[in-house]
Amino acid sequence: MLGLLTFTFILLIARILKLVELIVTRGIPLTQVGRLLVLILPTFLELTLPMAFLLAILLGLGRLSGDQELLALKSSGVSPVQILLPLIFVAASVAIITFLLTTWVRPAAQVALKDELYNIAKTRVATALREKVFNDDFPNILIYVEEIIPPGNVGQGILIIDKRETARDNIIVGKVGLINTEEQTHTLSLRLFDGSIYERDRTRSDFSQTNFNIYDFKLDLDEFIGPAKMKDAGPKEMSLNRLLKTIEEKQAAGINARPELMEFHQRIAFSFAPIVFCLLGVSLSLLPRTSRANRSWGVALCVVWLVVYYALLSLGKALGERGAFHPFVALWFPNIIIGVISLHLFRKALYESPLLLQTRFDAASLWLGQRLTRFENR
């Protein structure tokens, strides 16, 4: 549980900062931000749950090893296989939970998150306007706001480029603007103060200027919200059945289904990660010369192997997206590599055989000791 909370919090830091910004600068209610946080969590839990499980094995068996209890078990005739079996059952339980997260909980949370963001945009479109950024969410309209004053309904230094009319372009500049959403008419109203309107006919090079004290600029929310609402669900938002059906339909129609295949194999590969991590953690803990393992040893070893695993995962995904690997090979690449290494380490632990590097280190130490003895005798 400690590893799960720690890993999840580390990955969530950037998202938490953005959510805090929504509360402080945009005035989004805390309950609504809490719902967003809950809907974001499954995306990270499918990563952090196997990570925390590996940490738990290394810390638990590391403590047994440090207290010489693993040595006592082996002396009593308990083999590494018997030590591995109960942990395999736990790994299977974690794998089932991960499978449910990747195939059901996370896609459903992605859809719910999309709907929640739609509701926020519908009720508080002002939150979608980012300061010091050219916002092009509305068709044929570009909006720039120099500074948005909390809670988010007042902006300073507003520039609007309106290209909705086919014959001319309008450039509207205002020092201050009030942002208001009208629910009944589904419009976004920008009341600008102390500014100018520059109108340019597209068939001519000159333009006209009109100064104003107050100017109301209205936008249709359906133009902004509608495309986002009607947008088809991506592979990450599809349920497992729908994902398989989409793959089958695309392959039958001769359409490239690589994104869907990548998503499908990623979900299944993540589900088997706890089993691979279980074999790895037990093998590392049972190897010779780890009897003095402590908590810092377990944490360090966990971080190293997690970096290796997710580096292999990133490499496989990159090669898979470019078409160099089949999606199955690309997404199962880290499980295969780490699994083979884990089997080799477990075989070494089973026969109480030190690693090759350790054997060479001992041989080098013996050779150096012999040389030093000869030198002393001379």
Average pLDDT over residues 285-295: 62
Q: What is the pTM of this model?
A: 0.68
User: What's the pLDDT score for residue 240?
Assistant: 87
Most confident of 43-47, 68-72, 227-231: 43-47
pLDDT at 229 (0 to 100): 47
* Most confidently modeled range among 9-18, 47-56, 365-374: 47-56
**Residue 273 placed within a domain:** no
3-state secondary structure the chain: CHHHHHHHHHHHHHHHHHHHHHHHHHCCCHHHHHHHHHHHHHHHHHHHHHHHHHHHHHHHHHHHHHCCHHHHHHHCCCCHHHHHHHHHHHHHHHHHHHHHHHHHHHHHHHHHHHHHHHHHHHHCHHHHCCECCEECCCCCEEEEEEEEECCCCEEEEEEEEECCCCCEEEEEEEEEEEEEEECCCCEEEEEEEEEEEEEEECCCCCEEEEEEEEEEEEEEHHHHHHHHHHCCCCHHHCCHHHHHHHHHHHHHCCCCCHHHHHHHHHHHHHHHHHHHHHHHHHHHHHCCCCCCCCHHHHHHHHHHHHHHHHHHHHHHHHHHHCCCCCHHHHHHHHHHHHHHHHHHHHHHHHCCCCCHHHHHHHHHHHHHHHHHHHHHHC
Higher pLDDT: 26 or 195? It is 195
Q: Identify whether 196 is part of a domain.
A: yes
Residue 113 contacts residue 138 (beta carbons within 8 Å): no
pLDDT of 353 above 80:
no
How many residues are recorded in the chain?
A: 378
Share of the chain above pLDDT 90, in %: 26
Which long-range CB contacts under 8 A does 137-146 form with residues at least 24 apart? 137/224, 138/219, 138/223, 138/224, 139/164, 139/223, 140/164, 141/219, 145/177
Q: Using one digit for the tens of pLDDT, what is the confidence trace for 161-171? A: 888 787 788 88
Span 220-230, average pLDDT: 51
pLDDT for the residue numbered 53: 95
In a domain, 190, yes or no: yes
Taking residue 287's Cβ as centre, other Cβ atoms within 10 Å add up to 21
Confidence band of 228 (pLDDT split at 50, 70, 90)? very low
| 298 domain-assigned | no
Q: What angle do CA 163, 164, 168 make, to 5 degrees?
A: 55
Higher pLDDT, 120 or 323: 323
Mind listing the pLDDT tens digit for each residue in 305-350?
Answer: 999 999 999 999 999 988 888 999 999 999 999 999 999 989 888 8
| CB distance 209 to 197 below 8 Å | yes
The CA-atom distances, in angstroms, between 170 and each of 65, 100, 132, 208, 219 are 74, 52, 20, 10, 14
Q: Looking at residues 80-106, what average pLDDT do you find?
A: 93
Q: Residue 151 falls within a domain, yes or no?
A: yes
Is 255 inside any structural domain? no
- Give residue for tokens 């992605």: 110
Vertex 293 angle, CA 290 and 296, to 5°: 140
**Residue 154: band (very low, low, confident or very high) from pLDDT cuts 50, 70, 90:** confident
pLDDT reading at 50 higher than 90: yes
In a domain, 285, yes or no: no
**pLDDT at residue 372, rounded to an integer:** 58
Task: Quote the mean pLDDT of the chain.
Answer: 81
Lowest mean pLDDT segment, chosen from 170-174, 177-181, 206-210: 177-181
Q: Which residue did the predictor score with more confidence, 26 or 244?
A: 244
pLDDT higher than threshold 80 for residue 285: yes
Cα–Cα distance measured from residue 37 to residue 16, given in angstroms and rounded to the nearest whole number: 8
Mean pLDDT for the stretch of residues 100-116: 87
Mean pLDDT over 47-61 rounds to 92
- 146 near 158, Cβ under 8 Å? yes
pLDDT band for position 291 (50/70/90)?
Answer: very low
Mean of the pLDDT values across residues 253-282?
92
Q: Above 50 in pLDDT, residue 241? A: yes
Local confidence band at 356 (pLDDT 50, 70, 90 cut-offs): low
The parent domain of residue 155 ranges over 129-230
For residue 225, being part of any structural domain is answered with yes
pLDDT of residue 267: 92
Task: Choose between 324 and 373: higher pLDDT.
Answer: 324
Tell me which of 148 and 185 has the higher pLDDT. 148
Q: Please state the domain count of the chain.
A: 1
